[in-house]
Structure 1
Amino acid sequence: MSSHPPIPTRVVLLCGPSGSGKSLLAQRSGLPVLRLDDFYKEGDDPTLPLVAGSSDIDWDHPGSWDADAAVSAITALCRTGRTSVPVYDIARSARTGEDSVDIGRTPLFVAEGVFAAEIVRRCRDLGVLADALCLNRGPVRTFRRRFLRDLKEGRKSVAFLLRRGWRLMRAERSIITRQTGLGAHPCDRDEAMGRLAAAAAGRCTRARSTP
């Protein structure tokens, strides 16, 4: 019998602008995936932020997301291999139920979502962070992909999607700057896949520390 302790489960946080391809890349990695977008607050939450000068809820502001619940779910997966998560309907801006995530004894999983960078430091301090990646595909390409996806899924009204899409396209550089400043490594799809493979093999480059 081996005397080595079991390898602890760790997480790769995958962030990037909405529409940058995070969900598809996470799926293609072959690793278990935790959807961080399921931790959005509900539409009637009085703490939801608004877009400046507008009555639109700012779903791209970290204040629209429950970071504490997301960190709790990640910690539970790392410690026990299972956790309960909300089922979130973006079109209704509401939680519609609860689901269980069970990754068994897998030593690595991906937690992906637009706000993943917000919890890089907390996951590092908890000793569960393997890597943190910020996916960047360019503002025009991201705008097109995001709009077509959201339109197909009926996430919000067309007018809302256009307003949001235009705002995010103009803000994409600052979004990436913020996420990398929080400790996520900026990369394209190919580099991200390479780093995920390295993390799975136990030879990842840890996300850099932030001040």
Structure 2
Amino acid sequence: MSPEPSSCTIILVAGPSGSGKSRLSSQTGVPQVRLDDFYFDHDHPDLPVRSLPGGGSIVDWDDVRTWDLAGATSTLAGLSRTGSATVPNYDISRSQAFGSHQFNAAGSPAVICEGIFAIDLLAPLQQEGVPVEAIWLDRPRWFNFVRRLQRDLRQRRKPPSVLVRRGIALLRLEPALRRRALAAGFTPLGMAAAAAEVEGISRSRQPH
């Protein structure tokens, strides 16, 4: 399906938790949608569970079944066409949504949509005819582990013992996640190259 005339290009930014996806938006000045806001609530039925190293288990929030893929696809398709959309507000520490907000791209020719499930969005958005670019933010694995742990401890997202064990599990899974992103059509770029790519996409979409 060929892309319809639209207000903005969707730039999907994937990468492990802690790789700096949110920072990319602040560096480039391009408006950003947090894909984490589309998580299901903790009491949603049949959420997948992951066993943690050393024992115990938690909801596997890194499994796409914990996330509203259909809702995110519909919202971003509408955003691309009109430049605005209603987006949920999600509290990671409580694993629960509380209301929503109106996101407005303010005339920007591009919008960054970042999160670990960006990989799963590429094909559905393409099928909807949405103009979309896909970047995998390529950073060293231990760099991601440290940044993720520092952020999650600072924000008190979960108990420290859970955060450490979850971080180790994510560290082990990262190479497979990267392979899946590249196979889906994402381009691996470091932070500086990704910023340049985003700025280039935004400039190319400016009206002449």
Q: Out of 10-19 and 49-58, give the one that drifted further.
A: 49-58
Q: Which runs of 4+ in 1 moved over 4 A?
A: none
1:174 aligned residue: 176
Aligned partner letter, 2:184: L
2:65 aligned residue: 63
The reply on whether 1:11 has 2:10 as its aligned counterpart is: yes
1:45 aligned residue: 44
1:32 aligned residue: 31
How far residue 7 of structure 1 moved from its aligned partner, in angstroms, is: 6.1
1:73 aligned residue: 75
Consecutive unaligned residues in structure 1, runs of 5 or more: 1-5, 204-211
How far residue 40 of structure 1 moved from its aligned partner, in angstroms, is: 0.7
1:135 aligned residue: 137
Asked whether the equivalents of residues 9 and 128 of structure 1 are also in contact (C-alpha less than 8 Å), the reply is: no
1:144-182 Cα distance to aligned partner (Å, 9 max, x none): 000000000010111110110000111111111112222
CA distance in 2: counterparts of 1:177 and 1:117, whole angstroms:
11
Does the residue aligned with 1:48 lie in a helix, a strand or coil?
coil
Asked whether the equivalents of residues 9 and 109 of structure 2 are also in contact (C-alpha less than 8 Å), the reply is: yes
2:113 aligned residue: 111
Aligned alpha-carbon RMSD (Å): 1.8
CA distance in 2: counterparts of 1:38 and 1:59, whole angstroms:
12
Aligned length: 199
1:163 aligned residue: 165
CA distance in 2: counterparts of 1:128 and 1:106, whole angstroms:
16
Aligned partner letter, 1:41: F
How far residue 101 of structure 1 moved from its aligned partner, in angstroms, is: 0.3
Asked whether the equivalents of residues 38 and 72 of structure 2 are also in contact (C-alpha less than 8 Å), the reply is: yes
Aligned partner letter, 2:80: C
Asked whether the equivalents of residues 10 and 107 of structure 1 are also in contact (C-alpha less than 8 Å), the reply is: yes
Consecutive unaligned residues in structure 2, runs of 5 or more: none
Asked whether the equivalents of residues 137 and 189 of structure 2 are also in contact (C-alpha less than 8 Å), the reply is: yes
CA distance in 1: counterparts of 2:130 and 2:9, whole angstroms:
5
Identity rate of aligned residues, in percent?
37
How far residue 47 of structure 1 moved from its aligned partner, in angstroms, is: 2.6
Does the residue aligned with 1:95 lie in a helix, a strand or coil?
strand
Does the residue aligned with 1:155 lie in a helix, a strand or coil?
coil
Asked whether the equivalents of residues 6 and 80 of structure 2 are also in contact (C-alpha less than 8 Å), the reply is: no
Q: What pairs up with 1:194-209 in 2 under 5 angstroms?
A: 194-202=196-204
1:18-37 Cα distance to aligned partner (Å, 9 max, x none): 00000011221111111111
1:101 aligned residue: 103
Greater RCO (CA < 8 Å, at least 6 residues apart)? 2
1:22 aligned residue: 21
**TM, length-normalised to structure 1:** 0.89
Asked whether the equivalents of residues 121 and 183 of structure 1 are also in contact (C-alpha less than 8 Å), the reply is: no
Asked whether the equivalents of residues 7 and 107 of structure 1 are also in contact (C-alpha less than 8 Å), the reply is: no
Q: Out of 34-43 and 119-128, give the one that drifted further.
A: 119-128
Asked whether the equivalents of residues 7 and 82 of structure 2 are also in contact (C-alpha less than 8 Å), the reply is: no
CA distance in 1: counterparts of 2:187 and 2:68, whole angstroms:
23
CA distance in 1: counterparts of 2:201 and 2:139, whole angstroms:
22
How far residue 193 of structure 1 moved from its aligned partner, in angstroms, is: 0.9
